[in-house]
Structure 1
Amino acid sequence: MSAKWTDQRLVRVDRSYDLERASDGFSRFGEYLRLNASLFRDAWRDEPAPVKDPAEFAVHAWRVATSPVMAPGYVRCRPDLHGVTLHRDDYDHALYAEVRVPLRHHHLYAGEKKFPYAWQDWEAERYDAPFPELEEPRETKRPAVLASAVVRVPGGEWSGLVTPSAYEGRTLTNEAMETVSIVVQYVNEDAGPIVERLLS
């Protein structure tokens, strides 16, 4: 991956790894799309047809492109975050994204308020990394305060999302790649500054 993580880059596509690990010589992501082909068929039609809603297509493509369906994913999430997911509103089906952000104790301090030293925090394997992966503490005999925030950004105005023309094959793979690349751009643009401010 050529693009490095930054304070506002939360997600990125790893096309090089995807191509290198593709058993068909084209895309590992495409193989996972094939295994999850039912997600991309219109459930309301008797004859096989692709879903027609770009938001629905984006949600399904993103789900397949990210962990835990693909591990490592076609879309990678910054290591210090606990996931970036896409959803459609239950009421009007509008698209939105959620970023799960672990908050370490120093992010929660206000004025003189500090937690006792004995209270455990999120742990990192490597503290020298700029965005270390944060995990629950292994010790269970001491209290732990493990806080996190959900940053939600609307995607109803995101332009360029693909209306799919296929529910399988190379065309599905190309359209899914295009859609998740667009979502990556918008998530970084819209949620990136919020996450940066939250963690500053």
Structure 2
Amino acid sequence: MTTFWLDRDDTRYADQVRRDVGAFEDSFGDFAPISFACAAWRVATTPVMSPPYVRWHRRILSATCVRNTWDGTLNAEVRIAAPLPGALTASRVWWRDRGWQGWPRVFGQFVEPSPRETATLPFLRASLLAQVPVPFEELPPAPSGPDEHLAATAGRALAVLVRELDAVIAPIIAHLEDAAAPR
């Protein structure tokens, strides 16, 4: 199962990097590749990139990369749509005929309920937050400034991040999908 992947159209991403070169400004010349990789991730997942260059499984609600404030290493935070915990599904006493709703889906994608829906129905949506240290040894070094290789270097950073996140998150998603499959 694949949970993270890159869009095939890397020219869209290269164009976005050229338009949003300021997103990388604070990372230029940094001896560690962390800030640069995080900037590459933000540019690849910005709402302006529709569809985003970094894609993910329908259960993944959000995925961000951040520099750990404790030691400067790279962390990812991945929010995953999950079923209700067993303590709530074992009994419906708490339900009290209110018609609780879970995650709405549009073409299989887990989505936030609309304001119209939440005005009339109660929603209880469970999610998991995976906070994952990401090895950064294979990340390309941050460039010293904007150059003709900026988009390619950012793309290499994304390839490393996508590979690492997929390796960590795929087993979780596979287990959730398997548990949700009809028996």
TM-score in terms of structure 1 length? 0.75
Give the CA deviation at 1:42: 4.5
Post-superposition CA distance 1:61-104 (Å, at most 9, x none): 01101132422111112223111110111121110111111223
**Residues 103 and 164 of structure 1, relative CA distance in 2, 3 Å threshold:** same
**2:26–2:35 Cα contact (<8 Å) kept:** no
> What is the identity percentage for the equivalent residue pairs of Structure 1 and Structure 2?
29
Root-mean-square deviation over aligned CA pairs: 2.3
Q: How does 1:126-141 map to 2 (within 5 A)?
A: 126=107, 132-138=108-114, 139=117, 140-141=119-120
Q: Which of 141, 164, 182 is residue 160 of structure 2 equivalent to?
A: 182
Aligned to 1:11: 4
**1:81–1:133 Cα contact (<8 Å) kept:** no
Aligned to 1:78: 57
Q: Secondary structure at the match of 1:82?
A: strand
**Residues 53 and 192 of structure 1, relative CA distance in 2, 3 Å threshold:** same
The alignment status of 1:160 with 2:143, answered yes or no, reads no
Which runs of no fewer than 5 residues in structure 1 stay unpaired? 1-5, 19-26, 44-48, 127-131
The alignment status of 1:40 with 2:24, answered yes or no, reads yes
**Residues 63 and 83 of structure 1, relative CA distance in 2, 3 Å threshold:** same
**1:41–1:50 Cα contact (<8 Å) kept:** no
Give the CA deviation at 1:166: 4.9
Which runs of no fewer than 5 residues in structure 2 stay unpaired? none
Q: Which residue identity lines up with residue 95 of structure 1 in the other structure?
A: L
Aligned to 1:29: 13
Aligned to 1:123: 104
Q: Which residue identity lines up with residue 86 of structure 2 in the other structure?
A: Y
Aligned to 1:3: none
Give the CA deviation at 1:109: 2.6
Work out the CA distance in 2 between the residues paired with 1:120 and 1:67: 29
Aligned to 1:21: none
Work out the CA distance in 2 between the residues paired with 1:13 and 1:141: 38
Work out the CA distance in 2 between the residues paired with 1:41 and 1:53: 14
Post-superposition CA distance 1:10-65 (Å, at most 9, x none): 210112x33xxxxxxxx22122112221232347xxxxx54432111110101101
**Residues 42 and 144 of structure 1, relative CA distance in 2, 3 Å threshold:** closer
Work out the CA distance in 1 between the residues paired with 2:55 and 2:68: 24
Work out the CA distance in 2 between the residues paired with 1:149 and 1:134: 13
Aligned to 1:109: 86
| Structure (1/2) with the larger helix percentage | 2
Post-superposition CA distance 1:174-193 (Å, at most 9, x none): 11111100110000112222
Work out the CA distance in 1 between the residues paired with 2:29 and 2:49: 22
TM-score in terms of structure 2 length? 0.81
Give the paired residue count. 171
